Structure 1
């Protein structure tokens, strides 16, 4: 895991470096919660404002990435609890999360449809299950990193991953058999 040397530079340079390094990644993470590009951009800005304000309180007990992800997830949860979020209709479209790597155009269309169906089912999971699936499988974080980001034990992460996979098992079986899982 790469550690950034933030002690060697000034506060403004630190935030600029962190935004360059993690900005797009954080925005994609935020989008998986907000499911709206405009809201994701706004929340991402709020996250980096919080990072800027709290830079001096970063103790280095975890990686900078883990610390920023923790802030991001907390901001996302606050957003989901907000009055505005509860009153508005959200759209579900996260195609950029998945990329096709199959052979021909027909396979790419099929892959895209299958991926969208899987993502739709992941997004329908309750937040505790959705966030561990997204962090572990889509963000490729370790169980330890997911644990640190969410502020839960590693065993809780493992249990949530197991339960999430169980909830996704049937839709994935339908998909493997070539049946519509909608």
Structure 2
């Protein structure tokens, strides 16, 4: 009974985040919802293996990332055409009404650009900018070397800049992407 309570609490606390992470991989809301359910079932089944060497959140993200990557490698994914975007995925209700439209358009362009990145760059950018993990935390979550995280971050930002410049979102001078320290 205790495991059901723990999983229920995890679902309430991280369900939306795991859905967004899943969506960032598959770009289809229905599939992302299915994957999110599968991820929490897997967590329930594997809860006894959690050793406490990392935070429960890090453990949950690791399971989610692995599950999404497995899905992308699966036969089922190759036969499914991912369509549509979650329009309100990263929108904010805090902006004044006059600016809300412009902000939403900019967020949509950036979100679409992130979704066009290869998965290995997309997951780093997503975890860093949208989930605000440090590069060290991303290294732990993705189980890759910190220098690999830094290299993928730099390459991902280059690809984003190129993509956004080609679409006229940027004027070629670049944009400020460092929101916090790299550690």
Corresponding residue of 1:139: 131
Corresponding residue of 1:5: none
Give distance in 1, aligned partners of 2:24 and 2:164: 20
Give distance in 2, aligned partners of 1:163 and 1:92: 26
Once the two structures are superposed, the pairs formed by residues 111-150 of structure 1 within 5 Å of their partners are 111-150=103-142
Corresponding residue of 1:170: 162
Matched, 1:66 2:61: no
> 3-state SS of the aligned residue for 1:113?
helix
CA shift, 1:122, in A, is: 1.0
Answer yes or no: is the 8 Å Cα contact 1:97–1:138 preserved in 2.
Answer: no
How many residues were matched structurally?
169
Q: Taking structure 1 as the reference length, what is the TM-score of the superposition? A: 0.85
Which moves more between the two structures, 93-102 or 60-69? 93-102
Give distance in 1, aligned partners of 2:3 and 2:53: 19
Q: Mind listing any 5+ residue stretches in structure 1 that lack a counterpart? A: 1-8
Distance change in 2, residues 1:164/1:92 (3 Å) = farther
Give distance in 2, aligned partners of 1:121 and 1:92: 14
> 3-state SS of the aligned residue for 1:42?
helix
CA RMSD across the alignment: 1.9
Q: Which of 26, 37, 50 pairs up with 2:29? A: 37
4+ long deviations beyond 6 Å: none
Corresponding residue of 1:56: 48
Answer yes or no: is the 8 Å Cα contact 2:128–2:138 preserved in 1.
Answer: yes
Answer yes or no: is the 8 Å Cα contact 2:29–2:85 preserved in 1.
Answer: no
Q: Mind listing any 5+ residue stretches in structure 2 that lack a counterpart? A: 173-183
Corresponding residue of 1:6: none
Corresponding residue of 2:175: none
Residues 148-181 of structure 1 show CA distances to partners (whole Å, capped at 9, x for unaligned) of 1111011111110000001112344532449xxx
Matched, 1:104 2:94: no
